[in-house]
C-alpha cells in the first residue's frame, strides 16, 4: 500500500508546485536577493511616456540616490496610481531621510506636479515610511471622474471645431488660445481673497463656469495640448521666489518642433480698469528673450522669474 501512497504524495506536491510556480519563484527571488519584488501596474491613459531634463520616469523603482527618489515620486503621480509601495535598498543609507525631505518639501512637490498631465496632478500626497525601508505613497488626485468627463467633452468639441490639419502649429494653437480667452474671465475674487464660488483653480472653471485663475487657464491649455500630442508642462513661479506680495504664477510650456516656448493665457487675458475684454498675444509662444521683453516696463514684474534649475528646457535659452 505504501508504494502507492508515496508516489501519490509526490505527485500531489509536484502539482502544488506547478500550480503555484509564480508565487514560489517570487518568494525565492525575494529570499535569495533580499530585495522585495515590486508589482508595477500600467499607467493610466494620461501618463506622459516622455521624459524631461529635470524629471523622468523611473525604470525600476529601486532608488540609490536623491534623484532616483524624486523620479519615483514623479512616476507614481504621472502613472495615475492611487497607491504604490517601494523599498529602500540597504546600501542607500540616507534613503529614508531623503524621501522624508522630498515628501515634506512643498516647493519640490509643487514643481514635480507641474510636469504631469493635469488629470494626474495631486490634491494631496501622503507617505508612509517604515524603518524596514518600506515606503508607501498615497495620492489624492485633483480631478474627479465627473469633472474629467465634462472637460473631455468640451476639449473634443473645441478641437473638432477649431483644429485644422492644413494650418501650422502656431495658427492652430492661436485659435485655441483665443477661444479660451474669449470665453473666460479672470477670477479676481479668488485672486484677492483666496475664496470664490467658482472652481477657477482648475480646468472645470473656464469650461463650465467661464472663470479661471492662472491654474485654470494653464490646466485647460495643457489638457488640449496633450490631446493634440504636443509635449508640454506647466511652469510655476511660487510666491517664495517673488520679492513683493504675490501668490505666484503658473503658465504653459510647449514644444514646437525642436524648441520649447512659453504660453501664458492669463496674461494675454488682462483685467482692465474700464471693464472691457481685451485679447493680447504678448505671451503667445514666446522664447525667454521675448518673455522678458513682454514683461519690461515701468512696473517691476517678477511673476515670470522661473527657476531655470527646474525648468531646464529653458536653461540655455536667452
The pLDDT tens digits of the residues spanning 75-107 come to: 999 999 999 999 999 999 999 999 999 999 999
Q: What residues have CB less than 8 Å from 121, skipping those under 6 apart?
A: 77, 113, 114, 141, 142, 143, 219
Q: What is the pLDDT of residue 194?
A: 86
The CATH T-level fold of domain 145-314 is C8orf32 fold (3.10.620)
- Tell me whether residue 269 is exposed, middle or buried, using C-beta atoms within 10 angstroms of its C-beta: 0 to 12, 13 to 18, 19 or more: buried
pLDDT digits (tens, 9 = 90+) for 230-250: 999 999 998 888 888 888 899
pLDDT digit string, tens, across residues 106-158: 999 999 999 999 999 999 999 999 999 999 999 999 999 999 999 999 999 99
Percent of residues, the chain, with pLDDT higher than 70: 87
- Average pLDDT along the chain: 89
CA distance 37 to 60: 11
Report, as an integer, the average pLDDT of 185-207.
Answer: 91
Going by C-alpha positions, the residue among 125, 135, 128 that lies closest to residue 68 is 135
Q: Collect all residues with Cβ–Cβ distance below 8 Å to 52 and sequence separation of at least 6.
A: 115, 233, 312, 313
Class of residue 314 by CB neighbours under 10 A (exposed 0-12, middle 13-18, buried 19+): buried
Residue labelled with grid coordinates 485654470: 216
Weakest mean pLDDT among 218-222, 261-265, 299-303: 299-303
Q: Where in the chain is the domain with CATH 3.10.620?
A: 145-314
Cβ contact 112:73 at 8 Å: yes
- What are the residues whose beta carbons fall under 8 Å from the beta carbon of 192, sequence distance 6 or more? none
Please tell me the predicted confidence (pLDDT) of residue 298. Answer: 82
Judge contact between 55 and 74, C-beta under 8 A: yes
Amino acid at each position: 500500500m505504501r508504494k502507492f501512497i508515496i508516489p501519490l504524495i509526490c505527485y500531489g506536491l509536484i502539482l502544488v508546485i506547478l500550480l503555484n510556480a509564480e508565487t514560489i519563484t517570487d518568494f525565492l527571488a525575494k529570499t535569495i536577493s533580499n530585495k522585495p519584488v515590486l508589482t508595477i501596474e500600467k499607467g493610466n491613459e494620461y501618463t506622459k511616456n516622455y521624459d524631461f531634463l529635470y524629471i523622468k520616469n523611473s525604470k525600476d523603482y529601486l532608488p540609490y540616490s536623491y534623484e532616483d527618489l524624486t523620479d519615483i515620486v514623479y512616476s507614481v503621480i504621472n502613472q495615475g496610481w492611487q497607491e504604490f509601495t517601494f523599498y529602500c535598498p540597504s546600501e542607500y543609507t540616507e534613503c529614508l531621510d531623503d524621501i522624508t525631505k522630498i515628501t515634506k518639501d512643498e516647493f519640490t512637490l509643487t514643481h514635480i506636479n507641474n510636469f504631469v498631465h493635469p488629470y494626474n496632478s495631486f490634491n494631496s500626497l501622503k507617505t508612509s515610511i517604515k524603518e524596514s525601508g518600506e515606503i508607501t505613497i498615497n495620492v489624492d488626485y485633483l480631478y474627479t471622474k465627473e469633472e474629467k468627463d465634462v472637460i473631455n467633452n468640451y476639449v473634443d468639441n473645441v478641437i473638432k471645431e477649431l483644429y485644422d490639419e492644413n494650418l501650422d502649429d502656431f495658427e492652430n494653437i492661436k485659435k485655441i488660445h483665443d477661444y479660451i480667452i474669449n470665453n473666460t474671465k479672470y477670477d479676481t475674487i479668488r485672486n484677492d481673497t483666496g475664496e470664490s464660488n467658482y472652481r477657477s483653480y482648475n480646468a472645470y472653471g473656464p469650461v463650465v463656469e467661464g472663470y479661471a485663475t492662472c491654474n485654470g487657464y494653464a490646466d485647460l491649455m495643457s489638457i488640449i495640448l496633450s490631446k493634440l500630442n504636443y509635449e508640454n508642462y506647466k511652469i510655476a513661479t511660487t510666491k517664495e521666489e517673488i520679492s513683493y506680495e504675490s501668490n505666484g504664477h503658473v503658465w504653459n510650456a510647449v514644444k514646437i518642433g525642436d524648441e520649447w516656448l512659453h504660453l501664458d493665457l492669463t496674461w494675454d487675458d488682462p483685467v482692465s480698469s474700464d471693464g472691457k475684454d481685451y485679447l493680447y498675444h504678448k505671451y503667445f509662444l514666446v522664447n525667454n528673450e521675448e518673455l522678458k521683453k513682454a514683461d519690461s516696463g515701468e512696473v517691476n514684474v517678477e511673476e515670470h522669474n522661473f527657476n531655470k534649475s527646474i525648468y531646464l528646457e529653458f536653461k540655455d535659452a536667452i
